[in-house]
C-alpha cells in the first residue's frame, strides 16, 4: 500500500485541541516571538489601561477622593477568513507521513495503527500552517495578489504609519554601508536613540526585542567575532552563540530572506519594540464552516488537506515601535 485513504475531518473541540492550540500556545507560541491571542471573541479587542499621575494621598478622613477614572485604550484587531490547502501525490504523501513516524524512537513499525498515521498527518499539516501564519504575520500584503496576501502583516503596517507621518524611520542605510560590520551597531543605536521614552522605559520588563532580518543578525555575529583577542570571541566562533543580545536586548532573527525576495519590501530592516505590542490573533470557533479536512482523491491519486479559520495581526501602539531599513 503506497497511499493513505482514510478521510479525516476536525471541527469544534477537536479542531482546537488537536491542531491550533498546541500550535499557538506554550513553546510554539514563544517561537513566534509575539503576543498570540487564540479564540478570543470576534471582533477581537485588546484593552490597555493607563493611569498617569500620583494616586497616593494624605489619609485625613473617610470618603472617596480617587479622582478621574483610569484611561481606557482599546484596539480592535481586524481578522480575515482564510483557507489553507495542500495537495500531494499519493506516493509522496505516503513517504512524508511515514518518515515522520519512523523518525520517532518509540514507534512500533510492526503495529502502525490508525492513530499513528493520524498523528503524523496532523503534524505535517500543522507545520505548513504554522509557517504560513508566521511569514504572513510579518510580510502579509493583501494588495500584492501573490503569496502571503490573506491579511496585512506588521511590515506593511509600519510603512503605512511612515506614509501617514505617524512614525519616522530611525535610520535608513545602503548595501555599501552594510559592507562594514560596525554599521550594524550604528543601526541598533539609531533605533534605540529614536525610540520613545515609553518604549525604552520598558526595558526592565524583559520583553523588548530587536526583530531583524538574517543579514543584520549575521553581521552582528561577525562584529562579535572581530574581537579576535578575547576569550568570548574565540568561544563564540568555535561553539557558536545560542542567542545574540545587544545591551541586554535579544535579537530575533526573522528568517524571512527567501520570502522577501518576492516582495517590494526592503530586504533588510530592524524593528525595536516590546513583544507584547505585536499581536497575532487566530480564531477557529466564532463562525460557521471552520474545519480541517484531510482526504484522498482517487481520481487524481492525490492526498489533500484543507483548513478554514480566521487570522489577523496588529501593532497595538505605534509609539512603541522604532524602525530602521535599507533603502
What predicted TM-score, i.e. pTM, was given to this entire model? 0.85
Predicted confidence (pLDDT) at residue 193 exceeds the cutoff of 70: yes
Question: What's residue 201's pLDDT?
Answer: 94
- Mean pLDDT of all residues belonging to the chain: 84
Alpha helices in 195-270 (DSSP H): 197-200, 214-225, 231-239, 257-260
Question: What's residue 28's pLDDT?
Answer: 72
Which has the minimum average pLDDT: 42-56, 106-120, 217-231?
106-120
Peptide bond into 43 cis (omega under 30): yes
Predicted confidence (pLDDT) at residue 108 exceeds the cutoff of 60: no
Average pLDDT over residues 94-109: 63
Contacts of 111 by beta carbon, 8 Å cutoff, 6+ apart: none
Q: Look up residue 276 and give its three cell numbers.
A: 507584547
Average pLDDT over residues 237-258: 89
Predicted confidence (pLDDT) at residue 130 exceeds the cutoff of 70: yes
Predicted confidence (pLDDT) at residue 2 exceeds the cutoff of 60: no
Contacts of 261 by beta carbon, 8 Å cutoff, 6+ apart: 267
Read off φ and ψ for residue 203, nearest 5 degrees.
-60, -40
Question: What's residue 206's pLDDT?
Answer: 94
Between 125 and 324, the higher pLDDT residue: 324
Predicted confidence (pLDDT) at residue 255 exceeds the cutoff of 90: yes
Predicted confidence (pLDDT) at residue 160 exceeds the cutoff of 70: yes
Give the confidence band of 200 by pLDDT, cuts at 50, 70, 90.
Answer: very high
Question: What's residue 65's pLDDT?
Answer: 67
Question: What's residue 24's pLDDT?
Answer: 85
Highest mean pLDDT among 8-12, 43-47, 62-66, 194-198: 194-198
Q: What whole-number distance in Å separates Cα of residue 71 and Cα of residue 272?
A: 26
Highest mean pLDDT among 220-224, 268-272, 298-302, 308-312: 268-272
Q: What whole-number distance in Å separates Cα of residue 83 and Cα of residue 308?
A: 5
Q: What whole-number distance in Å separates Cα of residue 155 and Cα of residue 251?
A: 17
Give the confidence band of 67 by pLDDT, cuts at 50, 70, 90.
Answer: low
Amino acid at each position: 500500500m503506497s497511499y493513505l485513504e482514510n478521510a479525516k475531518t476536525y471541527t469544534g473541540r477537536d479542531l482546537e485541541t488537536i491542531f491550533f492550540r498546541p500550535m499557538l500556545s506554550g513553546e510554539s507560541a514563544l517561537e513566534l516571538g509575539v503576543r498570540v491571542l487564540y479564540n478570543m471573541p470576534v471582533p477581537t479587542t485588546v484593552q490597555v489601561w493607563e493611569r498617569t499621575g500620583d494616586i497616593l494621598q494624605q489619609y485625613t478622613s473617610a470618603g472617596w477622593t480617587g479622582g478621574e477614572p483610569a484611561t481606557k485604550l482599546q484596539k480592535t484587531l481586524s481578522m480575515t477568513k482564510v483557507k489553507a490547502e495542500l495537495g500531494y501525490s499519493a506516493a509522496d504523501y505516503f513517504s512524508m507521513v511515514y518518515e515522520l513516524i519512523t523518525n520517532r524512537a518509540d514507534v512500533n513499525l510492526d503495529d502502525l495503527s490508525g492513530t499513528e498515521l493520524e498523528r503524523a498527518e496532523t503534524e505535517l499539516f500543522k507545520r505548513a500552517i504554522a509557517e504560513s501564519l508566521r511569514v504572513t504575520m510579518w510580510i502579509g500584503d493583501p494588495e500584492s495578489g501573490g503569496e502571503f496576501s490573506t491579511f496585512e502583516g506588521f511590515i506593511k503596517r509600519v510603512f503605512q504609519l511612515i506614509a501617514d507621518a505617524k512614525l519616522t524611520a530611525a535610520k535608513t542605510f545602503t548595501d555599501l554601508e552594510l559592507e562594514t560590520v560596525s554599521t550594524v551597531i550604528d543601526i541598533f543605536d539609531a533605533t534605540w536613540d529614536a525610540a520613545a521614552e515609553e518604549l525604552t522605559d520598558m526595558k526592565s520588563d524583559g520583553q523588548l526585542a530587536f526583530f531583524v532580518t538574517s543579514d543584520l543578525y549575521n553581521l552582528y555575529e561577525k562584529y562579535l567575532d572581530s574581537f579576535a583577542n578575547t576569550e568570548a570571541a574565540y568561544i563564540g566562533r568555535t561553539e557558536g552563540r545560542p542567542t545574540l543580545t545587544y545591551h541586554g536586548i535579544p535579537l530575533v532573527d526573522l528568517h524571512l530572506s527567501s520570502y522577501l525576495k518576492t516582495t517590494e519590501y526592503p530586504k533588510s530592516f530592524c524593528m525595536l519594540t516590546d513583544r507584547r505590542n505585536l499581536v497575532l490573533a487566530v480564531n477557529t470557533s466564532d463562525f460557521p464552516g471552520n474545519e480541517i479536512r484531510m482526504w484522498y482523491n482517487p481520481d487524481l491519486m492525490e492526498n489533500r488537506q484543507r483548513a478554514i479559520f480566521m487570522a489577523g495581526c496588529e501593532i497595538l501602539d505605534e509609539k512603541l515601535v522604532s524602525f530602521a531599513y535599507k533603502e
